[in-house]
Structure 1
Amino acid sequence: MGIPLEPQQRIEPPGGNLLRELGGVSRGLARWSRGRRQRRWLPRGSGEPVMVLPGFLTSDASTLVLRRFLRRRGYRVHGWGLGLNRGDVYRLLPLLVERTRALAAAEGSPLRLVGWSLGGTLAREAAREATEAVAQVVTLGSPVVGGPKYTLAARYYERVVGLDLDAVEEEVSAMTAEPVGVPITAIYSRRDQVVSWQACLDRRDPDVEHVEVDASQFGLGLDPEVLAVVARQLAKGCAS
């Protein structure tokens, strides 16, 4: 799909307009209710296992629409089962890697990981740690560059958690210098007011395909345009 940003360009912070974000949710719900007939023609899976990961300060409840959609598309769908995503990456990642390996073993097949926002960031790193247990990753508005630095959560991580965001950015840069090792679809939107869309782009990994959509960050998990992309990319991954 191409990467619409030159490496030397500065990453801008997200707009932070939460009213636009909420409006995007309403828009996504309206489009969802009108698009039932079109969804019937989307590609289907054949029972492949999928785990869906929620974003920062959300839980499996936030991914209900997305999981139900994928289940109806023929996938065996799991929530992440780790409760509220409080953003403690260093604590959550080992737990996620353990769960990914356990689910893949139980299913007898590598998982497809679909992660929303921070959930997508965690999905990438779980795939990096457990490549044998992951067949594919799809991220929805997930920061790849800078950790939380280019998100609305930046102040929280800096002032409450006490992170040095510049140091975290360098750590993330060093970590992402190597490819994850599985095919990745990175879905992003220029309308995102929570995560800088430029931070969702991965220029380093040749296995990343970028897909731009017209949706808000809060609406990514229920907007029919986004769900159609997820369905197509999962089906493409299953066929390869």
Structure 2
Amino acid sequence: MPATRSPRFSRWQQTSSTAHPDGSDLRAPNAWLLMLEGRAPWEYAALLATMPWLKRLQKLPHGDGHPVLVFPGLGAHDVTTAPLRALLDSLGYATQPWGQGFNLGPRAGVLEQCKADLIELHRRHGRKVSLLGWSLGGIYARELAKECPDLARCVVTLGTPFTGHPRATNAWRFFEMVSGHAANDPALMAQIRQAPPVPTTSIYSKTDGVVAWRCSINEPGPLTENIEVQASHIGLGVNPVALYALADRLAQPEGEWTPFDAKGARRWFYKTSEQA
């Protein structure tokens, strides 16, 4: 199905030299947090070690077979989301990678193809699609849900900087270099900051070494929530604690969304907006 250009997505194709908004005091994570990104391989090892135990005890919430479209982060490939997708497939979901090679930002045709993929996935399965995005991929997921709310079941983002200034990350220079777009368009940032009109979850870490964690906080609303975990930015997609929360969010019956329950034993691993 051919994609059509939309006014909302066309903003991504514009560059701007406008200065960042006044009053923005967020800063990129410091050098110490950036160094802690080296723990990502240990998070993957923890996933491999804990998964058999979790499955044996049936602790991971299982899905209902609905489709999930997964977007990788900036500079990343579908290979990076393969462990995450394999887990979701084993839990009964029908996952689909974004399939556009390395994510080098919203270059010409990228977001149009994302929209076409969403439309086709919905047509093929006859069901609403959950949109899952890691880092920059979460921006795509959120904007698609705004553009096509009737096709989106929910949005879950992992370490996605959708509020605050893009320069409150340690990746903005790389973004500008590979995408060819400036990271300082106030109008675009105001648009991105708005939550989609579907259940929207942000999973984030205060020890994220790439994105300032405040950039990943949804404003309070009836369909928004924030779940804090202990993880690196690079490891969010393979961190067992983050993936448990993700599985819990996707497993909710359609139309019966409720905020994540971080009470009981979960309080040792998670913190939600209500607890902040």
TM-score tier by shorter-chain length is 0.7 to 0.9
Q: Unaligned regions of 5+ residues in structure 2, if any?
A: 1-22, 257-276
CA distance, structure 1, for counterparts of residue 215 and residue 193 of structure 2: 15
Instruction: Please say if 1:188 is aligned against 2:204.
Output: yes
CA distance, structure 2, for counterparts of residue 165 and residue 82 of structure 1: 22
Deviation at 1:13, TM superposition (A): 1.4
Runs in 1 of length 4+ with deviation above 6 angstroms?
Answer: none
1:52/1:63 contact within 8 Å kept: yes
CA distance, structure 1, for counterparts of residue 29 and residue 118 of structure 2: 31
1:151 counterpart letter in structure 2: T
Identity among equivalent pairs (%)? 34
Q: Unaligned regions of 5+ residues in structure 1, if any?
A: 1-7
SS state at 2:251 partner: helix
2:195/2:218 contact within 8 Å kept: no
String of CA shifts for 1:22-71, please: whole Å, max 9, x gaps: 22x12212321321212432110121111111011111111000000000
1:171 counterpart letter in structure 2: L
String of CA shifts for 1:122-150, please: whole Å, max 9, x gaps: 10001111111111110000011146322
Deviation at 1:171, TM superposition (A): 2.2
Question: Match for 1:11 among 26, 30, 37?
Answer: 26
Deviation at 1:157, TM superposition (A): 4.2
String of CA shifts for 1:94-144, please: whole Å, max 9, x gaps: 221111111111111110111100111110001111111111110000011
Instruction: Please say if 1:202 is aligned against 2:208.
Output: no
SS state at 2:252 partner: helix
Question: Match for 1:31 among 33, 46, 55?
Answer: 46
2:164/2:214 contact within 8 Å kept: no
- Normalised by the size of structure 2, how large is the TM-score? 0.76
Matched residue, 2:244: 228
1:172 counterpart letter in structure 2: M
2:76 counterpart letter in structure 1: T
Deviation at 1:21, TM superposition (A): 0.6
Judging changes above 3 Å, is the alpha-carbon distance between structure 1 residues 150 and 169 closer, same or farther for their aligned structure 2 residues? farther
Decide which moves more: 84-93 or 208-217: 84-93
Instruction: Please say if 1:92 is aligned against 2:107.
Output: no
Judging changes above 3 Å, is the alpha-carbon distance between structure 1 residues 160 and 70 closer, same or farther for their aligned structure 2 residues? closer
Decide which moves more: 73-82 or 89-98: 89-98
2:206/2:213 contact within 8 Å kept: yes
Deviation at 1:209, TM superposition (A): 0.8
For the aligned residues, what is the CA RMSD? 2.2
Judging changes above 3 Å, is the alpha-carbon distance between structure 1 residues 50 and 158 closer, same or farther for their aligned structure 2 residues? closer
Map 1:64-213; keep pairs closer than 5 Å: 64-88=82-106, 91-146=109-164, 148-158=166-176, 163-166=181-184, 168-173=185-190, 175-176=191-192, 178-203=194-219, 206-213=222-229
